[in-house]
Amino acid sequence: MSYKIVGDSSTDLTKELKEQGNIVHVPLILQIDDEEIIDDETFDQAEMLQKMKNSKHTLKSACPSPDAFLAHYDDADDIFVITLSGKLSGSYNSAEVAKKMYLEEHPDKNIMVIDSCSASVGQTLIAMRIQELMEQGVGFEETCKKVLQYRDEMCTKFVLESLEVFRRNGRLSSVKAVLVNTLNIKAVMTSNPDGSIEKMDQGRGMKKALEKMVDCIKKDMVNPEEKVLGIAHCNNYERAEFVKSIVLAEIPFKDCIIVDTRGLSSFYANDGGIIVAY
């Protein structure tokens, strides 16, 4: 049986995962003032980050249409769709609508739509878990069960240089983003089990905040020797390597991957942002 993984463009991939070819992206749309940027293979990270720095007005994103997902549901026997958190985007709902539309005409098709309750490298880890199970010959239904269990046990944390995009999107009403940015306080954020986000700690300056994030990981880590640490960075590989070194010095993860952020993740992480999932 063939399988295909369909990820919205918040799914940040390693070079190896891109080359394997069984993961496809459905692009979101990013709006900076009056310009729309499609988060596909034409995306230019440096150009977008500069436009964001110059922006004084609109910074927002739009989810893919159901038709954009529907176009990929014919590609294999088993289809797995991974979207960023339903608390942050309508991407999950669009994928579900597409699934219902497709199953009306193809009732025997296997399609699983997964709300990652995360974003970026969290979606990457879910894709890797699906690949692992399918390559082992695990059946569709059992894979679905194991993937949801993996999703529910996964944690996501991030530290950003700025919370301005979240503030301007109204996604962090509980965080005084302007005050945080003015005082050079970097918030350590976490994804809740339902996919919403909240502040869990903070540090003065990026280095201190990243160290605080490691402390937070240590507190909720269970069986790290069985887990992969995923690190996503926006235009700062050296910072990702720093995070990898300080985490692995304290916590014995089974493996670690580092990915650069695509358009949607770059849009919210902003220049220098770090996201971890495990």
C-alpha 214/C-alpha 248 separation (Å) is 10
Q: Specify the pLDDT at position 136.
A: 96
pLDDT over 90 percentage in the chain: 79
pTM over 0.85: yes
Question: Residue ranges per domain, the chain?
Answer: 3-29+63-153, 156-277
For the ranges 33-42, 76-85, 159-168, which has the lowest average pLDDT? 159-168
The pLDDT of residue 115 is above 50: yes
Tell me, what's the pLDDT at 177? 52
Q: Which of 162-166, 239-243, 261-265, 266-270 has the lowest mean pLDDT?
A: 162-166
More confident residue, 166 or 220: 220
Q: Mean of the pLDDT values across residues 244-253?
A: 96
Q: Of 46, 179, 195, which Cα lies nearest the Cα of 187?
A: 179
Residues of the chain above pLDDT 70, percent: 95
The string of pLDDT tens digits covering residues 149-206 is: 999 999 999 999 887 787 777 665 544 555 555 567 888 999 999 988 888 898 989 9
pLDDT of 144 reads: 98
Check residue 174 and give its pLDDT.
46
Residue located via tokens 């670690």 = 256
Alpha-carbon gap, residue 248 to 68, rounded angstroms: 39
Q: Give the CATH number of domain 156-277.
A: 3.30.1180.10
Q: Does domain 3-29+63-153 have CATH number 3.40.50.10440?
A: yes
As a whole number, mean pLDDT of residues 91-110 equals: 97
pLDDT for position 184: 79
Higher per-residue confidence, 161 vs 231: 231
